[in-house]
């Protein structure tokens, strides 16, 4: 059993593979956190709560209950009763009071894992079963019930958490904070790792030592954001890729979030994650419920690498869905960096013809095919074909591309509207806005109010007409600006602060309709590059455009950071032209291919104009990608180099689950004098197996030697050079 309850000790134990998560109904009916970490024998760990050290527990002596409240490690702390640490839950009742008192009411344990209404979430499969604990807490005066949902996966070191709040009374109540998870740690000796950045440099790894007070990352942009990713790891000071304790947290949500660690007066740590409560409220009328998104919690006793591989396995098998869940993605060429807005039917067919000769499998037509769009200042929302640009219409273009043996994909930005569009002129109130205030432009566009069903229905009907008009097999869904002046023309005043979350729910609803009605279409998410690279999006699309920065050297850091919790198979990665359009750097075509091969792989260039030498190299790159893709897509990922610590080189590996073969990739970023070779220790191999490198089958070394002694990487001269080695287990 993954979940057990000890009636005498009032202790719940969730066991996920080698991880235990333990909680207890403490004196007063409060749900307390006992332990989270490596599995331990099944025994009563109540002593960890130090209840005997606090004589003022409510059941025995209520003389100083506030001391009890301010020291108990709450499983779901609420506001107003003497716990002065950050709360996970806060309300405002009809009298304007914010005090809340949640106490144990009931629980149930069952096999499997529930879906969350209107929200993405991980799921259990036959191969990776799970068991769920639901604990119901109640606040009698407020007539609220909060159901805490915990799921432990059988074969992964994963615990997930979410919460559902229900108004069981006759009076309305307003929720002002509903976080999804709180975990109490009995120490402050942690480093906090976050993924931060900006446009074109997303998910840079930052590591800082916790200190007294509150440390957090968050987003208030209406999306998970370029600036901060909804991922955090708390780890021991000495933890590295392969050793040390790590606790990873990832939020399955694509809107505003907060991730916060608070070191308290007693040098303990309270960690919280959930929807950002800034500018948030949610009115619950009689019988209504609110569902908080899921938090994925991963424990590792063997460093950051094991944590990452656990996230990767979970997301590949228990989050990503659909036809492409376990399937190689088509090798595509996208015309954005090739043409920007300056293209027509003839130009796209020319690109497709040359691409077909090289073995590329799909042409994706990016921004500029609709309305009268020749620049980024018009036509969003007018999802009908720009006939002047696409002479002969969309179906003609798609048919001609299909005749060449290529699939066809198309770009949409469904959440946005341009001021000059027919849509905005007819429905100006469909844009998110605050009456009486000027609408802020960003990329000369506004955001549609996706909380409104009629808006979603209208956009979907236009998309459907396009998708039904031709053989379209791929969609790139983009979002190029954040939310401002957040107000809705239809929500009443007491529900206006719900718009942030209702917007995200609307996006999810439309993506669900799209992927349900068109299950064979490959959906790739994008938000100005990587501003919505989060688990919520992965639930609807098996891949996400990793960054608008396609430079191979910049991508080393971006893809390294992304791999902290997201599988490489989900990283949209393309070979682009040089000098690179973002940073102006020129790198060898082979290195661009080797770096892009870490992800979904494709091309972002005008194949009719690149040097013949580069064009001639494409079939070989495609052959290499096809050879190794199954290993990249399903194998275990090991980070070896670290560009954040040493920017002169990088290296990584993919190892098959049975450890029979491994792909090693190395990039020499900066060539150094007197460094003829570099010795690198491999990872993830079977120490008892013998391996040979594919190019030299007669020379064999044990996995132990390859990992403990390493290999010499030589024969590389110059900056930005790369090398691939394929190791196979000897018979």
Q: How far apart are CA 525 and CA 528, in angstroms?
A: 10
Does residue 503 contact residue 416 with C-beta atoms inside 8 Å?
Answer: no
Does residue 310 contact residue 16 with C-beta atoms inside 8 Å?
Answer: no
What's the fold here for domain 3-318? Beta-galactosidase; Chain A, domain 5 (2.70.98)
Q: Which residue, among 539, 381, 357, 491, has the nearest Cα to 447 in the 3D structure?
A: 381
Number of alpha carbons in the 13 Å side-chain half-sphere of residue 182: 26
Q: How far apart are CA 8 and CA 572, in angstroms?
A: 52
Q: How far apart are CA 168 and CA 140, in angstroms?
A: 9
In what side-by-side order are the strands of the sheet with 575-576?
571-572, 543-545, 522-525, 474-477, 407-412, 362-365, 332-334, 602-604, 575-576
Q: How far apart are CA 104 and CA 31, in angstroms?
A: 7
Number of alpha carbons in the 13 Å side-chain half-sphere of residue 301: 10
Among residues 313, 366, 367, 548, the one annotated as catalytic is 548
What are the mean pLDDT values of the chain's consecutive 10-residue runs (731 residues total)? 92 97 95 97 89 63 76 95 95 94 98 97 92 98 97 97 97 98 97 97 97 97 97 98 98 98 96 98 98 98 98 98 95 97 97 98 98 97 97 97 98 98 98 96 96 98 98 98 97 98 98 98 97 98 97 98 98 97 96 97 97 97 97 97 95 98 97 82 98 94 97 91 97 81
Residue 175 CB contacts under 8 Å (≥ 6 apart), including other chains: 89, 90, 91, 165, 281, 282, 283, 284, 290
* 416 torsion bin: left (phi>0), alpha (psi -120 to 50), beta (else): beta
Architecture of domain 649-729: Sandwich (2.60)
* Whole-number pLDDT of residue 55: 55
Q: How far apart are CA 2 and CA 204, in angstroms?
A: 36
What is the end-to-end Cα distance of the chain in Å, rounded? 39
Our CA angle for 11, 16, 19, nearest 5°, is: 80
Q: How far apart are CA 215 and CA 196, in angstroms?
A: 14
Q: Checking DSSP bridges between strand 522-525 and strand 543-545, what pairing results, if any?
A: parallel
Helix (H, G, I), strand (E, B) or coil at 309: helix
Exposed/middle/buried for 65, CB within 10 Å: 0-12, 13-18, 19+? middle
Token pair recorded at residue 598 = 């870490």
Q: How far apart are CA 302 and CA 246, in angstroms?
A: 8
Helix (H, G, I), strand (E, B) or coil at 522: strand
Does residue 32 contact residue 49 with C-beta atoms inside 8 Å?
Answer: yes
Q: Which residue, among 248, 247, 249, 242, has the nearest Cα to 303 in the 3D structure?
A: 242
Token pair recorded at residue 309 = 């591989």
Main-chain dihedrals φ then ψ at residue 653, nearest 5 degrees: -140, 155
* Whole-number pLDDT of residue 56: 54
Domain spanning 332-414+450-480+502-634 has what CATH number?
3.20.20.70
Main-chain dihedrals φ then ψ at residue 699, nearest 5 degrees: -105, 115
391 DSSP assignment: T
Q: Which residue has the tokens 């376990």?
A: 326
How large is the C-alpha radius of gyration of the chain?
A: 27
Token pair recorded at residue 152 = 């432990």
Our CA angle for 609, 614, 620, nearest 5°, is: 130
Q: Which residues pair with 501 in a beta bridge?
A: none
Q: Which residue, among 627, 635, 566, has the nearest Cα to 597 in the 3D structure?
A: 627
Q: How far apart are CA 566 and CA 250, in angstroms?
A: 10
515 DSSP assignment: H
SS3 of 186-212: the string is CCCCCEEEEEECCCCCCCEEEEEECCE
Q: Which residue, among 504, 374, 546, has the nearest Cα to 444 in the 3D structure?
A: 374
716 DSSP assignment: -
Q: Which residue has the tokens 């091309």?
A: 603
| 719 part of the active site | no
Please report, for the chain, the start and end positions of each structural domain, with discontinuous segments joined by +: 3-318, 332-414+450-480+502-634, 649-729
| 478 part of the active site | yes
Give the whole-number percent of the chain exceeding pLDDT 70: 98
Main-chain dihedrals φ then ψ at residue 170, nearest 5 degrees: -100, -10
Token pair recorded at residue 68 = 């009890």
Q: How far apart are CA 402 and CA 409, in angstroms?
A: 11
* Whole-number pLDDT of residue 701: 96
* Whole-number pLDDT of residue 65: 78
Among residues 449, 478, 534, 650, the one annotated as catalytic is 478
Q: How far apart are CA 353 and CA 238, in angstroms?
A: 54
């Amino acid at each position: 059993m993954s979940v057990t309850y000890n009636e005498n000790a009032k202790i719940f134990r969730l066991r996920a593979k080698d991880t235990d998560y333990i909680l207890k109904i403490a004196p007063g009916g409060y749900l307390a956190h006992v332990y989270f970490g490596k599995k331990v024998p099944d025994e009563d760990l109540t002593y960890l709560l130090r209840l005997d050290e606090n004589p003022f527990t409510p059941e025995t002596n209520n003389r100083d209950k506030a001391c009890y409240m301010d020291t108990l490690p709450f499983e779901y702390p609420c506001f107003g009763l003497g716990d002065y640490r950050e709360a996970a839950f806060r309300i405002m009742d009809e009298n304007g009071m914010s005090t809340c008192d949640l106490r144990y009411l009931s629980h149930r344990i069952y096999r499997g894992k529930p879906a969350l209404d209107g929200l993405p979430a991980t799921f259990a499969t036959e191969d990776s079963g799970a068991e769920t604990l639901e604990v119901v807490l109640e606040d009698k005066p407020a007539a609220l019930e909060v159901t805490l949902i915990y799921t432990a996966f059988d074969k992964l070191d994963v615990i997930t958490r979410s919460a559902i709040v229900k108004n069981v009374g006759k009076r309305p109540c307003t929720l002002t904070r509903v976080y999804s998870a709180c975990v109490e740690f009995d120490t402050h000796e942690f480093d906090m790792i976050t993924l931060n950045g900006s446009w074109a440099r997303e998910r840079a790894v930052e590591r800082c030592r916790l200190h007294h007070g509150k440390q957090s990352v968050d987003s208030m942009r209406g999306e998970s954001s370029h600036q901060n990713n909804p991922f955090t790891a708390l780890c021991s000071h000495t933890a590295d890729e392969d050793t040390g304790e790590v606790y990873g947290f990832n939020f399955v949500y694509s809107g505003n979030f907060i991730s916060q660690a608070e070191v308290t007066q007693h040098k303990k740590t309270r960690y919280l994650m959930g929807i950002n409560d800034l500018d948030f409220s949610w009115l619950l009328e009689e019988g209504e419920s609110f569902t908080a998104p899921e938090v994925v919690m991963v424990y590792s006793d063997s460093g950051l690498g094991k944590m990452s591989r656990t996230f990767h396995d979970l997301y590949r098998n228990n989050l990503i869905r659909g036809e492409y869940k376990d399937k190689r993605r088509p090798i595509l060429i996208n015309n954005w960096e090739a043409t920007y807005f300056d293209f027509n039917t003839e130009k796209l067919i020319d690109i497709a013809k040359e691409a077909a000769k090289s073995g590329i499998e799909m042409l994706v037509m990016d921004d500029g095919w609709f309305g009268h769009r020749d620049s980024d200042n018009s036509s969003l929302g007018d999802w009908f074909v720009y006939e002047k640009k696409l002479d002969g219409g969309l179906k003609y273009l798609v048919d001609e591309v299909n005749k060449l043996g290529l699939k066809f994909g198309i770009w949409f930005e469904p959440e946005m509207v341009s001021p000059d569009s027919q849509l905005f002129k007819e429905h100006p109130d469909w844009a998110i806005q605050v009456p009486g205030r000027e609408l802020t432009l960003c990329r000369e566009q506004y955001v549609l109010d996706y909380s409104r069903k009629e808006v979603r229905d209208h956009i979907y009907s236009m998309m459907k007409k396009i998708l039904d008009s031709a053989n379209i097999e791929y969609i790139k869904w983009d979002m190029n600006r954040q939310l401002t002046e957040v107000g809705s023309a239809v929500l009443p005043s007491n529900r206006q602060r719900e718009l942030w979350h209702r917007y995200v729910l609307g996006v999810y609803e439309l993506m669900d309709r799209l992927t349900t009605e068109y299950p064979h279409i490959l959906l790739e998410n994008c938000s100005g590059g990587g501003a919505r690279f989060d688990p919520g999006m992965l639930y609807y699309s098996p891949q996400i455009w990793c960054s608008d920065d396609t430079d191979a050297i910049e991508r080393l850091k971006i893809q390294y950071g992304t791999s902290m919790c997201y599988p490489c198979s989900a990283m949209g990665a393309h070979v682009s032209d040089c000098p690179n359009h973002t940073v102006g750097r020129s790198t060898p075509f082979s290195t661009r291919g080797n770096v892009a091969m870490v992800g979904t792989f494709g091309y972002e260039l005008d194949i009719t104009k690149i040097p013949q030498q580069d064009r001639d190299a494409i079939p070989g790159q495609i052959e290499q990608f096809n050879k190794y893709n199954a290993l990249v897509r399903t194998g275990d990922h090991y980070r070896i180099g670290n560009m954040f610590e040493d920017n002169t080189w990088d290296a990584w590996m993919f190892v098959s689950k049975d450890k029979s073969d491994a792909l090693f990739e190395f990039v020499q970023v900066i060539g150094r004098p007197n460094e003829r070779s570099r010795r690198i220790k491999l990872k993830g191999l079977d120490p008892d197996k013998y391996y040979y490198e594919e190019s030299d089958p007669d020379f064999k070394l044990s996995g132990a030697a390859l990992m403990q002694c390493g290999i010499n990487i030589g024969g590389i001269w110059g900056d930005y050079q790369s090398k691939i080695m394929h190791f196979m287990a000897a018979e």
